């Protein structure tokens, strides 16, 4: 990729070009803005674009680079934020009428980390209301404008998948980062629960919510992880032939459709052909109801998140969210306690069950993106890993039968995010048919 078309560069490529003096932060940002102007009227990923402040930041960072100061691994790289993540001075509506006109005065913790690393917040991205179960986003899939981009981090997946910004942030309570990655053909990372500050992000379920991010390569995921303090900048090089991978279809394999099993099998076969050890090892039978446990915890903890709005704004709150706040599903303190106990035991069981493997290879989504915008898709292949607090990396792995992207997930071990990035870096060139290339959405 040439610098003449900077919006197509990965963050790593753009950073190298700026270090070599072949690109400026202003030129990169301008290219992203041009792409947004051209494509976003159709894709609708953005709720707010901070043109003037971002350009001012880019000019300032270019001056700093010329004077020999480089803030960090993301110096001059534009990023975008899901609208449940606060950015000082930018609207923070959570895609909810309850928060129209809200403008935070402080950056969320993850935004502060990115600014310290030299990143430029470019704007806010569309989301399901409160990243929960309320009003749906208007974002469409950049690869087919009649289909969903997934959710709840809809705009975050679409903006990176459409080459409008090299890096974006989302949040995951069930499958809200990983499913849009699969649908939009991007890389994504959901780190170990709790290792990245959630300060300044709307809370849904405290023991599930996790900050995650999208990018165009594993190397770019690592740049963000390094800026977040959970990985080093270079990693450890792994050869594919040294990898030991467990293939897991989960207790919900019957939900796979639209070529998802074909894509997963192809990824496993490609790893084997490259010399990796890939062995089928399903989760213990005790995990059969794990998605139900996740749903109980999500809705049970969600009551605390939405009860204040119920009591102060009443009928203005979306009915689905009112239902969570009112415990219409019949969740009791004892059922919530039982689900939490199940989750605690399952986390330990997973560690022992997959000991000796480098990662678990599994579905990225149930299949291609759903048609229409009435649903953001099914999170059943993502939620269990969220409940287990595990780091997950999503990789593009090919197309389904109608030509839409389908991804796979590599699942690691708690607090071993750096190691999982090493595994994903080795596996990506084998699994992703677009690795090292630029996939321009046809719309």
382-400 pLDDT, tens digit per residue, is 999 999 999 999 999 999 9
Instruction: Give the H/E segment covering residue 270.
Output: helix 260-273
The lowest-confidence range among 47-61, 82-96, 305-319 is 305-319
Please state, in angstroms and as integers, the Cα–Cα distance from residue 228 to each residue in 40, 157, 308, 414, 433, following that order.
29, 20, 31, 16, 29
CA neighbor of 441 nearest in space, from 13, 39, 5, 26: 39
Q: Which of 82, 124, 190, 202 is catalytic?
A: 82
Over range 421-431, report the average pLDDT.
98
> Which tokens go with 340?
């939490």
Q: What percent of the chain has pLDDT over 90?
A: 88
Instruction: Report if residue 330 sits inside a domain.
Output: no
Smallest Cα–Cα separation from 407: which of 141, 178, 215, 243? 178
How many whole angstroms separate alpha carbon 434 and alpha carbon 116?
31
Q: pLDDT of 100-138, one tens digit each?
A: 999 999 999 999 999 999 999 999 999 998 888 888 999
CB-CB contact of 307 with 257 (8 Å) = no
Tokens, residue 18: 């700026």
**Percent share of the chain, pLDDT over 70:** 99
Lowest mean pLDDT segment, chosen from 206-210, 313-317, 367-371, 405-409: 313-317
Q: Has residue 304 been placed in a domain?
A: no
Comparing 12 with 322, the larger pLDDT belongs to: 12
The pLDDT assigned to 131 comes to 84
- For this structure, is 152 an active site residue? yes
Are residues 127 and 82 in contact, defined by beta-carbon separation less than 8 angstroms?
yes
Residue 172 has a pLDDT of 98
pLDDT above 60 (res 2): no
Q: Which of 176, 182, 217, 379 is labelled catalytic? A: 176
| pLDDT value, residue 288 | 95
Query: pTM for the full model?
Result: 0.96
What pLDDT is attached to residue 1? 43
Kindly give the residue spans of alpha helices, DSSP state H, lying in 162-217: 178-184
**How far apart are the C-alpha atoms of 376 and 370, rounded to whole Å?**
7
DSSP string, 290-308: HHHHHHHHHHHHHHHHHHH
- Domain hosting 158: range is 6-282+353-431
User: Does a structural domain hold residue 287?
Assistant: no
* Six-digit token string for 190: 């959901």
Tell me the backbone φ, ψ of residue 260, rounded to 5 degrees.
-60, -40
Q: What's 204's domain CATH number?
A: 3.90.1300.10
Listed range (131-135, 242-246, 402-406, 433-437) with the worst mean pLDDT: 131-135
Residue 33 confidence (pLDDT) above 50 = yes
Res 237 pLDDT > 80: yes
- pLDDT at 372 exceeding the cut of 50: yes
- Tell me if residue 82 is catalytic: yes
Whole-number pLDDT of residue 443? 67
pLDDT higher than threshold 90 for residue 316: no
Helix and strand element counts for the chain (H, E)? 13, 13
Catalytic residue among 15, 96, 152, 153: 152
Domain count, the chain: 1
Query: From start to end of 69-222, where are the E strands?
Result: 78-82, 120-125, 140-141, 144-148, 167-172, 187-190, 210-215
Instruction: Answer whether residue 325 is part of any domain.
Output: no
Q: Which helix (H) or strand (E) holds 278?
A: strand 277-280
Distance CA 275, CA 264 (A): 17
Mean residue pLDDT of the chain comes to 95
pLDDT tens-digit series, residues 177-208: 999 999 999 999 999 999 999 999 999 999 99
| Structural domain contains residue 322 | no
Q: Does residue 437 lie in a domain region?
A: no
Kindly state whether residue 306 falls inside one of the protein's structural domains.
Answer: no
Closest CA to 300 of 175, 206, 170, 380: 206
> What phi and psi values does residue 410 have, to the nearest 5 degrees?
-110, 125
| Measured distance CA(324)–CA(293) in Å, rounded | 16
338 within a domain of the structure (yes/no)? no
CA distance 263 to 268: 9
Q: Is the pLDDT of residue 34 over 70?
A: yes
3-state SS, residue 443: coil
The pLDDT assigned to 317 comes to 87
């Amino acid at each position: 990729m040439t610098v003449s078309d900077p919006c197509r560069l990965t963050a790593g490529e753009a950073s190298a070009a700026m270090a070599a003096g072949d690109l400026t932060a202003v030129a990169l940002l301008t290219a992203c803005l041009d792409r947004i102007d051209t494509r976003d009227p159709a894709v609708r990923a953005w709720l707010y674009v901070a043109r003037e402040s971002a350009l001012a930041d880019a000019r300032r960072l270019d001056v700093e680079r010329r004077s020999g100061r480089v803030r960090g691994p993301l110096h001059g790289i534009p990023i975008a934020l899901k609208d449940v993540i606060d950015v000082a001075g930018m609207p923070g509506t959570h895609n909810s009428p309850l928060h129209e006109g809200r403008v935070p005065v402080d950056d969320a913790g993850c935004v502060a980390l990115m600014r310290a690393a030299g990143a430029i917040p470019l704007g806010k991205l569309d989301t399901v209301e409160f990243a929960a179960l309320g009003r749906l986003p208007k974002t469409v899939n950049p690869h087919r404008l009649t289909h969903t981009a997934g959710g709840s981090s809809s705009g975050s997946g679409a903006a990176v998948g459409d080459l409008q910004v090299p890096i974006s942030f989302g949040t995951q309570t069930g499958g809200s980062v990983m499913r849009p990655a699969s649908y939009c053909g991007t890389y994504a990372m959901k780190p170990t629960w709790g290792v990245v500050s959630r300060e300044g992000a709307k809370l849904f379920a405290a023991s599930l919510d996790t900050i995650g991010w999208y990018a165009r390569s594993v190397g770019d995921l690592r740049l963000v992880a390094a800026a977040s303090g959970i990985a080093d900048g270079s990693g450890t090089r792994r050869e594919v032939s040294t990898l030991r991978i467990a293939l897991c279809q989960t207790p919900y394999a019957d939900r796979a459709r639209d070529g998802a099993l074909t894509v997963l099998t192809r990824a496993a076969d490609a790893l084997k052909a490259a010399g990796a050890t890939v062995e089928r090892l399903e989760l213990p039978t005790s995990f059969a109801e794990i998605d139900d446990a996740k749903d109980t915890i999500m809705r049970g903890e969600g009551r605390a998140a939405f009860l204040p709005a119920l009591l102060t704004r009443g009928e203005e709150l979306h009915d689905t969210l009112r239902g969570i706040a009112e415990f219409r599903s019949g969740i009791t303190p004892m059922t919530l306690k039982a689900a939490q106990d199940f989750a605690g035991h399952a986390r330990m069981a997973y560690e022992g069950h997959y000991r000796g493997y480098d990662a678990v290879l599994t579905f990225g989504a149930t299949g291609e993106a759903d048609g229409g915008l009435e649903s953001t898709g099914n999170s059943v292949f993502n939620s269990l890993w969220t409940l287990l607090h595990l780091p997950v990396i999503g990789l593009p792995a090919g197309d389904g039968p109608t030509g839409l992207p389908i991804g796979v997930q590599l699942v690691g071990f708690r607090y071993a995010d750096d190691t999982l990035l090493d595994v994903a870096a080795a596996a990506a060139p084998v699994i992703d048919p677009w690795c090292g290339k630029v996939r321009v959405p046809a719309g």
